[in-house]
Amino acid sequence: MKNAIETKGLTKVYNNNFTAVNSLDLEIPNNSIFGMLGPNGAGKTTTIKMLTCLIQPTSGKATVGGYDVEKNPDEVRNLLGMVPQQVSLYKDLTVMENSQMCADFYGVPVDERDSRIEDLMELVDIKYAKDKRVSQLSGGQKQKASLVASLVHRPDILFLDEPTIGLDPTTKRTLWDLIRELNDSGHTIILCSHDMHEVDMLCDNVGIINTGNLVAYDTPQGLKDSLLESNKQELTEALSEISKQNDETSPSKDIENLGLRKMSFLLKNQNEDIINVIKNSASVKNFEIAHNGRINLRIDNFDDLAVQNILNDISSSGGIIKSIYTEEPSLEDVFIKSTSEVDEDARA
């Protein structure tokens, strides 16, 4: 099976004629980590509810694990695990009791149930708290307990909704490692998150939904490369329009910034000769020295050789670089660009 999830023209229209999801075509490869992004109210939750058989589509088709969500809902549900943003375990029950109840619900054989739960607790490092009530757990412990309950029936596909929100950096990194381990062991994971670094680092593919429509889909790097190309086209068109006016109009700061990116570094042996070489480099558009001695430049955003040219100039003048940073398009930039223009007519 090539794709764990496929949708064709998937649409949900509510009784007030509000189109929450509009003809969604989506493919999520099997054994991948897929990031589903979008602003609040974009249609992500409605999409997930249709894929998990909580609500029926108005039109279109969706298959999960090869099963139609309308024709075979029981088969679909057996393939799925869900870790919601708000942990939905029973607070007065222990971690073990919650997990046992989920196992019984999914029909896990009694003679396998407890051993499965014990293995999962060891995997997520929550076994030490198995006899604690959920109300006694920290936020990170609750997320781990929720994962055990969601995985006990060995689902092929796991939905994670903001799994690391509110967690400290150490616990967050532990859960990131766990997500990778689950994927390596054969689970397809759909990750809904507003943490762009998390999505960029974990996901094989990313889909951005806005006003019920899929407005972007690619690998994280592919999306960032597309943004760079889009900015280049916008800059070219803007400068062409200015030149056609045949007057003294100059590019606005927004237009100028499209064509420039930051480059910053510290030198071990900074001196006037090296500074002059950097200032006079053909690739440098703006130059400044910060109070801590860090050199901040603005360089051509679309010149593939700009960074290399500057490094060559520094090296040829005897400069030794202690640290270097270059600003590249981020997934957050892609998100903002893709969702900045909200066309409510697109929901019709």
Predicted confidence at residue 340, as pLDDT, reads 85
- Asked if residue 274 lies in contact with residue 289, where contact means CB atoms within 8 angstroms, the answer is no
Tokens for 213, please give them.
């429509």
Indicate whether 25 belongs to any domain: yes
- Give the strand order in the sheet containing 59-64: 19-29, 3-13, 59-64, 67-68
Are 176 and 266 in the same domain?
Answer: no
Q: How far apart are CA 203 and CA 219, in angstroms?
A: 8
Return the SS3 of 213.
Answer: strand
Query: Model confidence over 8-31: pLDDT tens digits?
Result: 999 999 987 899 999 999 999 999
Predicted confidence at residue 164, as pLDDT, reads 85
Are 107 and 206 in the same domain?
Answer: yes
Which amino acid does the sequence have at 290? A
Predicted confidence at residue 16, as pLDDT, reads 79
Predicted confidence at residue 93, as pLDDT, reads 95
Predicted confidence at residue 343, as pLDDT, reads 58
Q: How far apart are CA 47 and CA 127, in angstroms?
A: 34
Are 273 and 214 in the same domain?
Answer: no
Q: How far apart are CA 83 and CA 142, in angstroms?
A: 11
Indicate whether 30 belongs to any domain: yes
Residue of 316, 320, 309 lying closest to 285 (CA atoms): 309
Indicate whether 272 belongs to any domain: yes
- 8-state DSSP, 112: H
Strand partners, 64: 5, 67
Indicate whether 242 belongs to any domain: no
Q: How far apart are CA 64 and CA 53, in angstroms?
A: 10
Are 112 and 191 in the same domain?
Answer: yes
Are 64 and 211 in the same domain?
Answer: yes
Indicate whether 38 belongs to any domain: yes
- Asked if residue 25 lies in contact with residue 51, where contact means CB atoms within 8 angstroms, the answer is no
Are 44 and 151 in the same domain?
Answer: yes
Predicted confidence at residue 320, as pLDDT, reads 93
Query: Model confidence over 276-317: pLDDT tens digits?
Result: 999 988 889 889 999 888 999 988 877 878 889 899 989 999
Per the structure, the complete domain to which residue 282 belongs is given by 260-329
Q: How many domains does the chain have?
A: 2
Tokens for 336, please give them.
């903002």
Residues contacting 147, CB < 8 A, separation 6+:
83, 120, 124, 178
Indicate whether 246 belongs to any domain: no
Residues contacting 20, CB < 8 A, separation 6+:
12, 13, 14, 43, 46, 212, 347
Q: What predicted TM-score, i.e. pTM, was given to this entire model?
A: 0.82
Are 200 and 297 in the same domain?
Answer: no
Are 153 and 289 in the same domain?
Answer: no
Final residue of a structural domain among 218, 248, 274: 218
Are 206 and 85 in the same domain?
Answer: yes
Indicate whether 270 belongs to any domain: yes
For 59, the enclosing helix (H) or strand (E) is: strand 59-64
CATH code where residue 275 lies: 3.30.70.100
- Stretches where the chain sits below pLDDT 70 are 1, 238-239, 241-259, 341-348
Are 162 and 295 in the same domain?
Answer: no
* HSE toward the beta carbon, residue 3, CA cutoff 13 A: 13
- Asked if residue 90 lies in contact with residue 107, where contact means CB atoms within 8 angstroms, the answer is no
Is beta strand 321-326 parallel, antiparallel or unpaired with respect to 284-289? unpaired
Are 144 and 53 in the same domain?
Answer: yes
Residues contacting 79, CB < 8 A, separation 6+:
64, 65, 67, 155, 156, 157
Are 98 and 15 in the same domain?
Answer: yes
CATH code where residue 24 lies: 3.40.50.300
Strand partners, 62: 7
Q: What count of other Cβ atoms lies within 10 Å of the Cβ of residue 293?
A: 10
Indicate whether 225 belongs to any domain: no
Tokens for 42, please give them.
């974009």
